[in-house]
Amino acid sequence: MATATMVLTRVKVQRRFGLALRVTAVIALLALAALPLLLGGDVWAQRISRAAIYAVIGLSINTLTGHAGQISLGHQAFVGIGAFAAAFTASRLGAPLGFGLAAAAAAGALTAAVIGLVALRVTGLYLALVTLAFGLTAETTIFNWREFTGGGAGALAPRPTLLASDHAFALLCLGVLALVLYLDWRLVSTKTGRALTALRNNERIAATLGVNTTGYKLAAFSLSGLIAGLAGGLFAHWNQIVQAMDFEFQVALVWVLMTVVGGLRSRLGVILASALFALLPLTLPNFLSSLPWQPPFLNEAVYHVLPPFIVVVMLLIVLRCFPGGFGQLLRPATRWLSTGSARTPRTGTGGRT
Report, in Å, the least distance between residue 172 CB and other proteins: 20
Q: Would you say 118 or 156 has its CB closer to other proteins?
A: 118
Burial string for 222-244 (b: 16+ CB within 10 Å, else e) reads bbbbbbbbbbbbbbbbbbbbbbb
Q: Would you say 168 or 306 has its CB closer to other proteins?
A: 306
Report, in Å, the least distance between residue 19 CB and other proteins: 21
The dihedral region occupied by 342, where left means phi > 0, alpha psi between -120 and 50, and beta the remainder, is alpha
Name beta bridge partners: 241. Answer: 156
Q: Would you say 291 or 301 has its CB closer to other proteins?
A: 301
Q: How far apart (Å, rounded) are the C-alpha atoms in residues 286 and 290? A: 6
Q: How far apart (Å, rounded) are the C-alpha atoms in residues 249 and 197? A: 29
Report, in Å, the least distance between residue 151 CB and other proteins: 8
Q: Would you say 30 or 191 has its CB closer to other proteins?
A: 191
Q: How far apart (Å, rounded) are the C-alpha atoms in residues 258 and 177? A: 17
Cβ neighbours of residue 177 under 8 Å, at least 6 residues apart?
Answer: 52, 55, 56, 59, 271
Report, in Å, the least distance between residue 4 CB and other proteins: 25
Q: Would you say 2 or 291 has its CB closer to other proteins?
A: 291
**DSSP code per residue over 12-70:** HHHHHHHHHHHHHHHHHHHHHHHHHHHHSHHHHHHHHHHHHHHHHHHHHHIIIIIIS--
Q: How far apart (Å, rounded) are the C-alpha atoms in residues 309 and 254? A: 10
For residue 157, give the amino acid letter.
A
Q: How far apart (Å, rounded) are the C-alpha atoms in residues 29 and 251? A: 30
Are the C-beta atoms of 104 and 110 separated by less than 8 Å? no
Q: Would you say 48 or 219 has its CB closer to other proteins?
A: 219
Report, in Å, the least distance between residue 218 CB and other proteins: 12
Report, in Å, the least distance between residue 271 CB and other proteins: 19
Q: Would you say 41 or 345 has its CB closer to other proteins?
A: 345
Report, in Å, the least distance between residue 40 CB and other proteins: 29
